[in-house]
Homo-oligomer: A and B are copies of this chain.
Amino acid sequence: MRIHHECVACAINQCQKIVEMSLQGEKERKKAMLFSLKRAAELFSEESIPAVVGGLLFLGLYKFIGNDDPFKEYKRVSNEVARSLLPEFEGADLRTALKLAIAGNVVDFSTGYTPERLEKDIRGVLSQELLIDHSENLFSLLEKGGKLLYLTDNCGEIYFDLLFIKTLLREFPGVEVFVEAKEGPIINDATVEDLLEAGFDEVGTVVSTGSRLPGTPLEYSSPEFRKLFRSVDVVIAKGQANFETLSGLGDGRVFFLLKAKCPAIAREIGVPIGSLLCLNLSLR
């Protein structure tokens, strides 16, 4: 997926958030925003993939401000809150577990919600229908066994991914699972370290993309990861950045699990903003 017109302002607004999280002095903040503007102008073109240029922009900004992980505390709290909610949903059936994995992408685990409020929001997502639902095709494929590559997105959310993968393995014990995360910190994306801390190594093989960019841009991934990607039978790709970086492949093995949160993604897929999707582009 190439950038849409909203991606420009969205990237700059995200830079401002990062700058405000990381720097206190107005003079330093101003310098960092001017850096962001000039770097964005260099990076963005009509053919850009939003997650790639956004990621390169943020990594440059991290370096400029001397903070390699501005979202560290945000991610820690997200993981903690999500982990504490899991027992509420233990024993979910396959369909509920799939929707929980999407719900995990929707709610913000770190905004000082009470656990009660958060649980209510998650149940709200569970009560919504998927607007595009190719999950039966996904499950039919998994029935045959083979290798599943699961591409994670954010911290917090990963605990619901773990529940979903456990449920998948209960239903389809013949499946061998590989779970991907980022090589290092980028915004609130899960890293390999986050996955290991959450215990993903008990359900499958934890792998790194070999890159810190959001999503799964194969041209920036390690040769090992690319080899693994080519070898698997089914891919579950969570969240917007994975859609942005993989939608152009035309790869029928990929099922995108996401909420279309922003106008660019919604327009690209041709659905209303807010739609919940389990989408295989080859099945449309």
A interface residues, Cβ below 8 angstroms from B: 3-9, 12-13, 15-16, 19-20, 26, 29-34, 36-38, 40-42, 44-46, 267
Contact = CB atoms under 8 A, between A and B. Distances in A.
Main SS of the interface on chain A?
helix
B9 A5 contact: no
- 9 closest A-B pairs by beta carbon, nearest first, are A41-B41, A5-B29, A8-B33, A5-B30, A5-B33, A9-B16, A38-B41, A9-B12, A12-B12
B33 A46 contact: no
User: Which of A6, A15, A30, A40 is the most central at the interface, judged by chain B CB atoms within 10 Å of its CB?
Assistant: A30
Contacts of A34: 8, 44-46
Contact of A5 (B7, B16, B44): B16
Nearest to A38: B41
A85 to B, nearest CB: 33
Given A38-B41, A41-B38, A44-B37, A32 B5 contact: yes
Nearest to A28: B5
Given A9-B9, A37-B41, A30 B16 contact: no
Contact of A30 (B13, B38, B40, B46): B46
Nearest to A39: B41
Contact of A19 (B5, B7, B13, B15): B5
Contacts of A26: 4-5, 267
A170 to B, nearest CB: 44
Contacts of A41: 37-38, 40-42
30 contacts: A3-B30, A4-B29, A4-B30, A5-B16, A5-B19, A5-B29, A5-B30, A5-B32, A5-B33, A6-B16, A8-B12, A8-B34, A8-B36, A8-B37, A9-B9, A9-B13, A9-B15, A9-B16, A9-B33, A12-B12, A26-B267, A30-B46, A34-B44, A34-B45, A34-B46, A37-B41, A37-B44, A38-B41, A40-B41, A41-B42
A207 B150 CA distance: 67
Contacts of A44: 34, 37
Contact of A13 (B13, B31, B45): B13
A25 to B, nearest CB: 10
Nearest to A8: B33
